[in-house]
Amino acid sequence: MAGRYAVLAFVVLTIVVVDQITKIYIDGSMQLHQSITVIPGYFSLTYIRNPGAAFGIMGTMSSGFRLVFFFLTSVLAMGLLITIFLRLEPGDWWGQLTIASIFGGAIGNFIDRLQYGEVIDFLDVYVNGYHWPAFNVADSAISVGVVSLLLLFAFEKRKPDLTPQEDSQL
């Protein structure tokens, strides 16, 4: 049982530390809106700050409303993730790593919102001028975790609801 929590803590802490170190580096070494091409035509480091949610949703709302909204939704989401984690079978490592990934990403972005009132984004992926909205390490962990969680749920082997005795009575 303790190993399960150690894995959760390790994954969460690794994501949070890498996320925060990369954001501190970008904030300290680049000017806001500065872009550095890494792979021409495909990838740049572009320093932006996102006051809203994913893709800038709610970015124009008042900062007070956003702070309360994101605080409450973050706390609720983290509570839900903990509940899911606790309900997973102890041997379900895929599920545990998935939840830990989402949880670590949520904490990384939550730290930004508490510290700056917005999230630092800097990974800029694009093809022929079509840009995916800039993101960060925490966003990546959340996205990979959510896709993994969807796959986990889609391919989960469910235990039959009926025992053989109950089934024969139908």
Q: Is 139 a catalytic residue?
A: yes
Neighbours of 75 (CB within 10 A): 12
Quick one: which of 105, 59, 112 has its CA closest to 78?
A: 105
Per annotation, catalytic residue among 19, 112, 124, 139: 139
Please pick, among 121, 124, 161, 167, the residue that the annotation labels catalytic: 121
Backbone φ/ψ region at 127: left (φ over 0), alpha (ψ -120 to 50), beta: beta
DSSP class of 1: -
DSSP calls for 71-113: HHHHHHHHHHHHHHHHHS-TT-HHHHHHHHHHHHHHHHHHHHH
Q: Is 121 a catalytic residue?
A: yes
Residues annotated as catalytic are 121, 139
